[in-house]
Amino acid sequence: MRPIKIVTDSCSDLCKELRDKHGIEYVKMNTVHNEKETPASLDWEYFSAKELYDLMRNGERITTTQVPAAEFTEKFTKLTDEGFDVIYISCSGALSGSVNTGKIVAKDIMAKNPEAKIACIDPLMACIGEGMIAVKAAELAEDGKSFDEVVAYIEENKLRMNQFCTVNTLDYLKRAGRVKASSAFFGNLFGVKPVIISDAKGQNTAIKKVKGRLASMDEIVNLLNDAMQGEEDRRVFVGHADCPQEEVDYLANKVKEVIKDAEVTVGYIGPVIGASVGPGAVVVYGWGKKVELEG
């Protein structure tokens, strides 16, 4: 049985520590500012989080691209030539065309190399939730599961990854086309903060509105706690888009207070997702009940 290599992308917001621990690699999307494309590094190699979010605060438009076909070709060819079977966990196909490009490249490589084995999975999730699914795939491979077993498990369980997010404004998501049009009205009321999930189709859908910043943080934690009832995996990831440290601490402490035995990791929302949600966004992720809502 050939070893398995898990690959994800710039949307996963997976920190270097976890990537190194599990041998996870990633393919890069690009950010675009003033028509200049810059690779979207998960390690903020080309600009800092503060620089990105300050540009947005100052009204600058940041857009993103999907993973270029050449990036997939280089990564998949290298890994299969090294003897790995490859499982690519993409950004949600509802938000990016990367998974489809990956499938086209994978098909071409496998046609040329009969020994190559590549699966491209749409996790119906982005940001740190996508990264958590990639980590789960890597852990299954480390436990000796076969290529087909890992793929089957992820496909069967990917909707058990729960996302609850709140943003200061829906303007960034609307501008980027990353939230359903029917959700737009949630962000137009003064002081009202929308609560956003990744639904069963992988779309960002606003499910309710909450008055006040801290109240919206409380709400996303309570919703995640409900979703995680009975879940053995107690890992919770907290992401933020350059929020004040006191807000980050408040949210992390609220998770520890509300969610029993939570193992909390805090990190930045990276450049690709950050360009869509805008400064001030916060999000929590955890394994739990299957997401059923199709917004």
pLDDT of residue 176: 58
Chain segment 107-163, per-residue pLDDT in tens: 999 999 999 999 999 999 999 999 999 999 999 999 999 999 999 999 999 999 999
Could you give the CA distance from residue 143 to residue 166 in angstroms, rounded to a whole number? 35
Long-range Cβ pairs for the range 55-62 (8 Å, 24+): 56/172, 56/274, 56/275, 56/278, 56/279, 57/279, 60/33, 61/33, 61/175, 62/31, 62/32, 62/33, 62/271, 62/274, 62/275
Q: How confident is the model at residue 189 (pLDDT cuts 50, 70, 90)?
A: low
Q: Is 109 left (phi over 0), alpha (psi -120 to 50) or beta?
A: alpha
The pLDDT of residue 174:
74
Q: Residue 173 has what pLDDT? A: 74
Residue 51: what pLDDT?
97
Residue 168: its pLDDT value, please? 84
| Domains of the chain, earliest start first | 4-158 (3.40.50.10170), 160-287 (3.30.1180.10)
More confident residue, 193 or 230: 230
pLDDT of 81-117, one tens digit each? 999 999 999 999 999 999 999 999 999 999 999 999 9
pTM: 0.94
Mean pLDDT calculated for residue range 11-29: 98
The pLDDT assigned to 220 comes to 98
Q: Cα–Cα distances in Å, from 134 out to 22, 128, 219? A: 9, 10, 27
Nearest to 86 by CA among 137, 31, 132: 137
Q: What is the pLDDT of residue 191?
A: 74
Residue 188 has pLDDT above 90, yes or no: no
| pLDDT tens profile 209-236 | 899 999 999 999 999 999 999 999 999 9
